[in-house]
Amino acid sequence: MKKNTTIMMFLFAALALFTVQANAAKQINDMSDITLTVFVPCAAGGAGELVDLSGPLHTLITFTINGNNVSGTAHFQPQGIAGTGETTGDKYQATGVTKDTSFKVSFQNGQAQQTFVNNFRIIGTGQGNNFLVHEVAHITFNADGTLTVFHDSFSIDCK
Tell whether the model's pLDDT for residue 10 goes beyond 90.
Answer: no
Backbone angles phi, psi at 20, to 5 degrees: -70, 140
pLDDT attached to residue 99: 93
Backbone φ/ψ region at 41: left (φ over 0), alpha (ψ -120 to 50), beta = alpha
Q: pLDDT-based confidence at 88, cuts 50/70/90? A: very high
The pLDDT score that the predictor gives to residue 119 is: 94
Task: Indicate the pLDDT class of residue 2, thresholds 50, 70 and 90.
Answer: very low
How much is the average pLDDT of 38-44?
Answer: 94
Please state the rounded mean pLDDT for residues 98-109: 87
E-state strands within 18-108: 26-40, 49-66, 69-78, 82-85, 91-106
Number of domains in the chain: 1
Over pLDDT 70: what percentage of the chain? 85
pLDDT at 17: 47
Domain with 86 in it: 2-158
Task: Indicate if the pLDDT at residue 7 is higher than 80.
Answer: no
pLDDT digits (tens, 9 = 90+) for 54-86: 999 999 999 998 888 889 999 999 999 999 999
